[in-house]
Chains A and B, each alone.
Chain A
Amino acid sequence: MLASLLIVFREVLEAGLIVGIVMAATKGVAGRSSWILLGIGGGVAGACLVALFAGTLSDAMAGAGQEVFNAAVLAVAVVMLGWHNIWMARHGRQLAQQMAEMGTSVAAGRKSLLALAVVVAIAILREGSEVVLFLYGIAASSAEGPFALLIGGALGIALGGLVAWLLYRGLLTIPTKRLFSVTNWMIALLAAGMAGQAAVYLARVDVVPSWGDALWDTSAFLPDNGIVGQALHALVGYSDRPMGVQLVVWLTVLVALVVLGRMLAPRPRTPGTAVSARPVGETH
C-alpha cells in the first residue's frame, strides 16, 4: 500500500503544485472555481483517454509519439502561461487595486481564466495518465491484494491534493498588492521549466539536438527524484543533470516572458479602462 501511495503521490504532486499556483494567481477573480474545476475535470478525462490510447500513441510517428505528444501539450501550456503573464502585466495592477477597494471578487481577469484552466487540464492529463495506467495495472493483475494498493493510490491522490491546498494557502498569506507579482514570477518559472522539459522530450527522439546530456551533475546533493528535487522540478524546472538544450530553452522563455511583461506593462494611466480615475502605476 505504501509503495502505491508513494508512486501515485509523486505523480500527483507535480500537477498539485501547478494547480496551487494557478489558484493563487486567480485569487479574487469571479467564477474562477468553476473554471479550475472544469480544468481538473477535463484533465482527468484526458488522462483516461491518453491511458486508453497509450499503445496507439506510443507507436505513432515511428515510436516517437509519446515524446512528441508530451512536448506538444507542454508547449500549449507554456503558451497559455505566457499569455496569462502578459495579460497580467497589462492589467494585474488594476485588478489588485480593484480587489483591494471592493474587497470582493471582480469580473475583470476572467479572460485569462480559460488559459489557466487549460494549463490545469494539461498538468493533470500528463501526470494523471501515468496514475491511471498504474492503477489499471494493479486492478488487472490478480496477484497481491489489489485493494490495499488501490487504497494506497487513493491516499496518494488525496495527499497530492493536500500539497496543492497548502501551497495555495501559503501564497494567500502574501498581501494582495504583492501577490500577483509573486505569482507572475512563479508562472514565468513554471513556463520556463515546462518549455525546457518539452525540449528534453524532443531531444530524446532526436527531433532537436541535446547539446550535451548533462551540463552539470547535482544529483548527489539534490536529486530530482527526491521529494524536494521533484517539487523544484515542477515549480522551476530544476534538473540535476540538465541537457544543454533544456537550459537554453529555459533561459530563452524566462527572459522572453520577463522582457515582454516589462515592455507591455501599462503607462501610469491606461486609456479605455473603467476601473479607477486614479493613476495606479506609482509603485513601478
Chain B
Amino acid sequence: MPRLNVALLLLVLGALPAYAADPAADPVRLTLKDHRFVPDQITVPAGERFKIEVVNEDDTPEEFESHDLKVEKIVTAGGKITLSVGPLKPGTYRFVGEYHEDTATGTIVAAETPTKE
C-alpha cells in the first residue's frame, strides 16, 4: 500500500505543470435574478482552467452547486463569488442553485478547440 502511494504521488507530480492556472483570464459571469441564472448556458473551451463569477441579485442567499464540477459555494444575498474550474473534458456540465433547484438551473458546455489538441 505505501509503495503504491509513493508511485502514485510521483505519477501525479509528473503531471503537475500541465495544470498551471491562468489567473489573468477574464471570468465567465453568471447573474442570479428571481432565482434564475442569466445566462443559463455558457460555453467554455475544453482543456483550460477558467473562472466563473456568480452574482446574486436576489434578496435571499443561494448555494451555487454543480455535482458535475464538484463545486458547492454559498452566494449571499447581493453577494458575489468567484470559482476556478477545470480543465474540463469536452461535454456538458450541469449546475443549479441548490435552494431553488426548480428554477435556478444551467449548463456549461466545454467545447473542443481544434488548435489545442
Contact = CB atoms under 8 A, between A and B. Distances in A.
Given A209-B16, A213-B88, A54 B61 contact: yes
B2 A259 contact: yes
A218 interface: no
A136 B76 CA distance: 11
Given A7-B98, A225-B67, A66 B89 contact: no
Chain B contact-residue range equals: 35 or more
Say which size band chain A's interface belongs to: 35 or more
A58 B76 contact: yes
A223 B112 CA distance: 25
B19 A252 contact: no
Interface string A34-49: 0000000000000000
Interface of chain B, main secondary structure: mixed
Interface stretch (A77-85, A162-170, A199-207): A199-207
Main secondary structure of the interface of A (DSSP, over half): helix
Interface in B1-30: 1-2, 4-5, 8-9, 12-13, 15-16, 19, 21, 23
A212 B99 contact: no
A90 interface: no
Contacts of B79: 54-55, 58-59
Given A3-B102, A136-B61, A204 B84 contact: yes
Interface of B: 1-2, 4-5, 8-9, 12-13, 15-16, 19, 21, 23, 59-63, 67-68, 70-71, 73-76, 79, 81-84, 86-89, 98-99, 101-102
